[in-house]
Every structure is written in C-alpha cells, then in structure tokens.
Structure 1
Amino acid sequence: MDVLVINADLGPLHRVSLRHAVRMLCRKVAEIHEAEPDRLIGVYPMPKVVRLVRYVVTRWRFSAGPAWSRSGVLARDDRRCGYCGAEASTHDHILPRSRGGRNTWANTIASCYGCNQRKGDRTPAEAGMVLRFEPAAPSWAALARR
C-alpha cells in the first residue's frame, strides 16, 4: 500500500511505501492528513495521506525538464518506432555515437530492432530513412501521463 506525501501547502509531491510513511511520522517530519480510522499501526491510524510539517521547495522539478533516459525516450515516443511506426523495443541515435552523437532528447528516438539494425552506424539520410517526427525534450507532465 502506497501513501501519498503532500507538501505543507497541500500540493502533492510523490508516493512512498507505508513503512516509509510511518518512519516519517516517527521522525515528526510529517503528520497524518488522511487516514483509515478503523486500522491502526502501533499508535498511529493507517495513513492514506501524510503532510510534511515544513514546506519543501520543488522549483527544481519544474524549472528544467527531466534528465535523458532510455525508458524516457520510449515513453516520450509511445513505444513506437520513429522510422516505421512499429512497436519500439530500443532507442537509436540519430547522429551515431561513433560520430560524436550524445545521449540527448534531440538526438535519440525510439526504434524497432529492424530499423535500428538497418540504419546501423549511419545517419538517417545516409541510410535512406525518414524520421516520422522531430524528437524534442518532453516536459515532466508529458512523461507523467505515460
């Protein structure tokens, strides 16, 4: 069972395990905001939502987009190949890493195994392949919806 953690201003932050929530209560960094009244864990009612005692600044999360990750590329592209539209199982570097391509949102795209092998160590133009869309960095909200 997960417990929702909300900030002191009642804005949602994330979910934690029940065990972690009880530790937060014992350390007095959080208070029970909503609980199941009939169930107890020691002296505490079973928490559904805990509220932090002090406000935590989360501007960092919204100021910059999420860091690049393989799973993020697949989620951004809805697990669809950027070349043929089939189900993607891997990612591909548009400018190959051997030619200086980096792990960035703009240089990677979800790819099926066949297209990844066909393109190989070439650019899409050299391989005669066309991108179905221009890759871009997703927002936190866009990745959260996936």
Structure 2
Amino acid sequence: MGKVLVLNASYEPLNVTNWQRAIVLVLKGKAEQLEHNGKFVYPEFPLPTVIRLRYYVRVPYKEIPLTRRNIFYRDAHTCQYCNYTGDELTLDHVIPRSRGGGDTWENLVTACVRCNVKKGNRTPQEAKMLLKHPPRRPHSSLYFEVRKYLKSGTHPEWHKYAIGIDF
C-alpha cells in the first residue's frame, strides 16, 4: 500500500515507515494524520501518507559521511555541468585542490569525463561552465531516502514537507 512520511512535532521529516505502523500511531493518539492519498483502510479511515507526531522527539545529529558513493547519489548520478547520465562519471573539485580546494560536500560534484577535462585546473567561472545545482551538504540522514520517493513521484504530497531536498 505504501510508505508514510513521519514528521516530528516541529514538521521536520523524521522517518519513513510502513502504513501499518503509521495507522497504529494515529489510532493510539501518538500522531495525527496530515495527508492521505484517497485510499481507505476502513470506510471512514483514509490511508495516511504523512503523519505528524504529537510530541517532539529529540534526534541526535548524525553526519552523513563524505564518500564517493554519497556524492554520486546526492547529484543523482548526473554531470553537474552538462546533465549527462551514464557510466563515464567522475568527481570534480569545484575549486581545484591545487588552488586550496578541499574534499568537502561544498567543493565536490559529479562530472562526466569530458566536462572534467574541459574544466581542467580552473574554477567553473574561469572555464565558463555553470553548475546545474550548487553543491551542499545533505541536511539529514533521511535526505537520501526521502529524495528517492520524491524523485519517483509516488508521493507528491511529501513535497511541502521535504524542505531543502532537491531532486
């Protein structure tokens, strides 16, 4: 039947759970239903797609590790200069390492081999190559999971709660 986005009491995405768990939380009064998809579990009970906890849950910040795989995933396996999606992808330092650019979320992007060679040891401005999306650190550990559902289009009602998640 589908997944349900769980929001903290402050409306921040907290988790993605299954519909059965979401219904239990709503029936026990621990959460309220914010969105549904028009399907019904019982004649008077719509199937939730977004719920919000009635109490605030403090979640310790968990930093997403900076790895090659996570950079590719953040950039949707797409060249950030020409939108190429294929097997010939590499990582590019927006500010080259030889000019003091480091290995950070804000300085690494996915690039195809052709664009990476064309840009060379220059900044995007010097090479006259614009980035499609400015690189940034993902906001939460839930970033990749929520983004997957947003991109697939299966849960359009999640968009207004997924602030800061590009796709």
* TM-score of the superposed pair, with normalisation by structure 2: 0.48
Match of 2:76 in 1: 78
Superimposed CA distance per residue, residues 76-134 of structure 1 (whole angstroms, 9 cap, x where no aligned partner): 01001110100161111000011111110001111111101100111001111001111
* Letter in structure 2 aligned against 1:117: V
| SS of equivalent residue, structure 1 residue 124 | coil
Structure with max Cα Rg: 1
- CA distance, structure 1, for counterparts of residue 97 and residue 67 of structure 2: 15
Aligned to 1:66: 64
Q: Which runs of 5+ in 1 are unaligned?
A: 1-11, 13-58
What secondary structure sits across from 1:90 in the alignment? Answer: strand
- Counterpart Cα distance in 2 of 1:140 and 1:63: 8
Does residue 106 of the first structure (1) align with residue 106 of the second (2)?
A: yes
TM-score, normalised relative to structure 1: 0.55
Structure 1 residue 140 displacement after superposition: 1.3
5+ residue gaps, structure 2, are: 1-14, 16-58, 149-167
CA-based RMSD of the aligned residues comes to: 1.9
Q: Paired residue for 1:117?
A: 117
C-alpha separation between the residues in 2 aligned to 1:101 and 1:77?
19
Hey, what does 1:27 align to over in structure 2?
Answer: none
SS at structure 2 position matched to 1:115: helix
Q: Could you list the structure 1 runs, at least 4 aligned residues long, displaced by more than 3 angstroms after superposition.
A: none
Question: Identical aligned pairs, as a percentage?
Answer: 38
Moved more, 102-111 or 85-94: 85-94
Report the count of equivalent residues. Answer: 87
